[in-house]
Amino acid sequence: RSARSNSKHLFSRAKAVFPDGTTRATVEKDPVPVYVQRGEGAYLVDADGNRLLDLNNNFTTLIHGHAFAPVNEAVVDLLRRGTCFANPTEHEIALAELLTARIPAIERIRFVNSGTEAVMFAIKAARAFTGRPGVARIEGAYHGAYDWAEAGQAISPGKHGWETTPIATPTYRGTPTSVAEDVHLLRFNDVEGLVKRLSAMSERIACVLIDPMPSRAGLIHPEPAFLEALSATARKYGILIVADEVLNLRQGYAGASMRYGVKPDLIAAGKIIGGGFPIGAIGGREGVMRVFGAEDTMPLLPQGGTFSANPVSMVAGRAAMEAMTPEAFDRLEGMGERLRRGLKASIVRRDAPFSVTGAASLFRIHPKRVTPVEYRDAHLDATEALLMRKMTRHFLEQGILLPYGAAACLSTAMVDNEIDLILRAFDDFLDAESQS
Ligand code: PMP
């Protein structure tokens, strides 16, 4: 029996019912998906009984790893009393109070069920507030599946290389071309391009959608000058700043915008705030959030949703977030720093063609000698993609699930031992590479 025979069998069943054998395009299948039997803290046990250190944590959602006891207890307790109602519950108020108390830019909040929905409603809110249709966003960044958030996410060089000024095209065949007319692409850390683009199109732009460290675009540190120019230019033209913190809220107690000095008008959140259950949230300035309604006015943007603020996600999120004290964030950050420093030291020792980006509990290893400063630098050519594939395969053989071409993350279920495992696996990989 091969190490993955049960996964192979499950994949053959899955191919008969799902279009490509999966229900998410993001499932890694090299050559078959690793089917999961259960999760235990920092580890997964796959369908064949292999124990794997999970550096994906459901795309950075599980900040406490799997089956975190306080979340389980809160959810089990709730299940006995009903899981969803058309009526509001105290649970939604409690999670809202926690988030508004921690994150200064969130004065008012609305809950939805995914990051996609959170970004979509944040864009719609910015449009309703400004009366303008357009969105400016970073080329290569991922913001979920709303058409206007999506255009520009999968851009690659053309026949003659990269366009100096990136132009949005509808991401998928058949998308109305009008979508791309209202999406304005910016290059990350390109101050001049940003100022030029925003000022030229200002009358049509409702918001700049900015993830301060876009993961798919390379998990690259923002230059302070870039974020300053973004804020100043947006303010000058009455363009709202929408921070997509769906992934990066995990960078600190008060989130990523606070960490990097951005003052957003709206924040889209998700992932960790649901404690492992589906969630999204739109938060922001009271004055802007009034588009969703105020006691004395009709909403400009009515937003509902059958499962919005469902009590399961609310109590799970609250249990997970309550455990994320400032000390818990500090411990995660310390482990993250030790890990990134160790990875970089391995690279330097061998003068290997790799680099490392990330912050707090997040990291990404690039098969690139020069540390990327924008999406284009992080974009892989065919040779680099092969090397990346080789690396993730090596990690898997060592019992570590390292996401391919995306942010990897730590969880509070990990201790120094897990950091050592990752460092050793990377060292072994570089050794093998230097001998091949
Ligand atoms: N924005 C960012 C920055 C994300 O990382 C993601 C999910 N990876 C989304 C939006 C979409 O969130 P969801 O998958 O919950 O719809």
When the candidates are 1.20.120.530, 3.40.640.10, 3.40.50.10490, 3.10.20.740, the CATH number that belongs to 69-323 is: 3.40.640.10
Work out the percent of the chain whose per-residue pLDDT is above 70.
100
Answering whether pTM is above 0.90, one says yes
Quick one: pLDDT at residue 1?
56
Query: Is there a contact between 218 and 364 (Cβ–Cβ < 8 Å)?
Result: yes
CA of 436 relative to ligand 1 center, distance in Å: 38
CA of 237 relative to ligand 1 center, distance in Å: 28
Q: Which residue has the tokens 């951005």?
A: 262
Q: What is the ipTM of this complex?
A: 0.99
CA of 80 relative to ligand 1 center, distance in Å: 31
CA distance 18 to 348: 44
Quick one: pLDDT at residue 136?
98
What count of Cα atoms within 13 Å lies in the side-chain half-sphere of residue 261?
12
Number of residues that this document lists for the chain:
436
CA of 411 relative to ligand 1 center, distance in Å: 18
Residue 249 structure tokens: 């809220």
Q: Which of 24, 245, 247 to mutate to test the pocket of ligand 1 (most atoms within 8 A of CB)?
A: 247
Q: Which CATH architecture has domain 5-63+326-435?
A: Alpha-Beta Complex (3.90)
For the chain, the average pLDDT equals 96
CA of 180 relative to ligand 1 center, distance in Å: 20
Q: Which of 146, 271, 375 to mutate to test the pocket of ligand 1 (most atoms within 8 A of CB)?
A: 271
Residue whose C-alpha is closest to residue 236's, from 244, 228, 226: 228
CA distance 317 to 96: 10
Q: Which helix (H) or strand (E) holds 208?
A: strand 205-210
Which amino acids bring their CB within 6 angstroms of ligand 1?
59, 114-116, 119, 142-144, 211, 215, 244, 246-247, 270
Q: What is the pLDDT of residues 411-421, one digit of tens each?
A: 999 999 999 99
**Partner residues linked to 244 by β-bridges:** 268
Residues with Cβ within 8 Å of 38's Cβ and at least 6 positions away in sequence, in order, are 44, 45, 66, 67
Q: What is the pLDDT of residues 326-352, one digit of tens each?
A: 999 999 999 999 999 999 999 999 999
Residue 285 structure tokens: 């300035």
CA of 30 relative to ligand 1 center, distance in Å: 23
Q: Which phi and psi (to 5°) does residue 347 adopt?
A: -65, -45
Q: Which of 56, 116, 220 to mutate to test the pocket of ligand 1 (most atoms within 8 A of CB)?
A: 116
CA of 338 relative to ligand 1 center, distance in Å: 27
Please give the number of the atom of ligand 1 that sits closest to the Cα of 280.
15
- Nearest C-alpha to atom 2 of ligand 1 is from which residue? 143
CA of 202 relative to ligand 1 center, distance in Å: 26
User: Per-residue pLDDT for 277 more than 70?
Assistant: yes
Long-range CB contacts (within 8 A, 24+) of 401-406: 401/34, 401/44, 401/52, 401/53, 401/54, 401/55, 401/56, 402/55, 402/56, 402/365, 403/28, 403/55, 403/56, 403/59, 404/28, 404/30, 405/216, 405/380, 406/59, 406/215, 406/216, 406/364
Report the chain's terminal Cα–Cα distance, integer Å: 29
Q: What is the pLDDT of residues 116-161, one digit of tens each?
A: 999 999 999 999 999 999 999 999 999 999 999 999 888 889 888 9
Three-state DSSP state, 268: strand
Residues forming CATH 3.90.1150.10 domain(s) in the chain:
5-63+326-435
Q: What is the pLDDT of residues 102-125, one digit of tens each?
A: 999 999 999 999 999 999 999 999
Residue 43 CA, distance from chain mean position: 21
